[in-house]
Structure 1
């Protein structure tokens, strides 16, 4: 199963997932996943050899945009408090959350809200249930399975997971073999 590990602000809201407004949740989730992809996509790096002058201009504009997004994100963080960060392993079909969260135990249903990127104030919201828990050498993990996702949500989440998984592999290769 393709996944990646991160340390993200998240919040668990116990309750019946059927109470959520599915259309609004789907629209928000698609916005969040598309916004994260836009922020994380590195287009200027691909133009380096093809059109160096265009690449320099895009880097300049990208730096200005990143500064603006950082300023807005800082302002929003002052207004809102982000939930506590937790280690997570994210896959399309399963999200593992490290540690114990109040009300989150095997069999519990609710809404898992994940803040995927600090520049994007809206969280990815997934309704579902905790299907299991397990311990490994990294600690205690709760296994959350989201309820049915729309096809666009599945596709966007799959791209997100693949992008992060691929970056993790690239970072491991650059770090080289352990001594």
Structure 2
């Protein structure tokens, strides 16, 4: 089932929270982990771009809550600028444009992909580390690593048969 915000019918808060999650940068100390910007970080950047006092972290917090305030076009505009999405991606009434709808659908797919990746890494952190390291290898050394893994699988199978 497609989430409501991916269909373009979600609430403003759902769309805003989706963009916070989709735009979360990778944690430099924990590759594969993403940390959402804080409300204050977003406010600080918007204020830097558009002038002090444009928006507060507290107001952004309220906007992210269900049943939060309905923002004016001024706030919609600066948030759309920060997240680099069309203004009507936040449209509350009527249907958003096809472009805005596609942007939100893509954000949803991106978030789902990250969540899936994080679940896999939580299940097998050593495998995730190996996979990341292997991606940095040249194609020739990736093939070599695959051969080593194949040999290890054979060795493990022989050990299992010897023990059984």
TM-score under structure 2 length normalisation: 0.28
Larger Rg: 2
- RCO higher in 1 or 2 (8 Å CA, sep ≥ 6)? 1
Structure with higher strand content? 1
Structure with higher helix content? 2
TM-score under structure 1 length normalisation: 0.26
